[in-house]
Amino acid sequence: MITPNQFKAGLAIDLDGGLYTIVEYQHVKPGKGGAFVRTKLKNMRTKKIIDKTFRPDEKFQDAFIEDKKIQYLYQAGSLYYFMDLETFEEIVIEKEKLEDVVGFLKDNMEVLMISYKEQIIEIRFPSFIELKIAHTEPGIKGDTAKGSFKPATLETGAIIQVPLFVNENDSIKIDTRTGEYVERVLSSTRP
């Protein structure tokens, strides 16, 4: 059991049957009345952020969140198969748990599985990944207008917008949080 005086950013608590992480907290000691703790809490299942105020003497159950590194193996229908890198057990995850980043999954990619009481809460991808362009139309020489983009199909099948100078077989860096192009990655074999 913990009290609001022990709150810190990132701490997970069980509140009214829901699992929340503390995003922000502030201890407030007004001139009149008792002290309190003002917080911003993020629901780990819905990702919704709420504001909540607590008295310093309230008690909460801190939640033990387990995180494991797992490696992507293959897909069959709407199920994705991973391997626990410690126990080598196979873990099956439904497509819905992978959210929008499923298009960035490539063979042998390592991700972080966050679970609570044996239930998967979230699959965390690396913030940035490198993927190869499988198909894109060639850029028009001399067309260097800022903000000009074209669609490109990645090796994983996902389609994103890339600048005109990016070509097929180029490797690019992608921000998995936004799904956007970051930069072209130059390989050491390129002249």
Question: What element of type H or E holds 113?
Answer: strand 110-116
- Quote the pLDDT of residue 116: 85
Torsion angle of C-alpha atoms 148, 153, 155, 160, degrees rounded to 10:
50
Domains of the chain, start order: 4-62 (2.30.30.30), 66-124 (2.40.50.140), 128-185 (2.40.50.140)
CA 25 – CA 19 distance, rounded (Å)? 17
Mean pLDDT over 113-138 rounds to 88
Query: pLDDT class for 120, splitting at 50, 70, 90?
Result: confident
pTM beyond 0.75: no
pLDDT reading at 161 higher than 90 = yes
In what order do the strands lie in the sheet containing 171-175? 159-163, 149-154, 128-136, 171-175, 180-185
- Quote the pLDDT of residue 96: 82
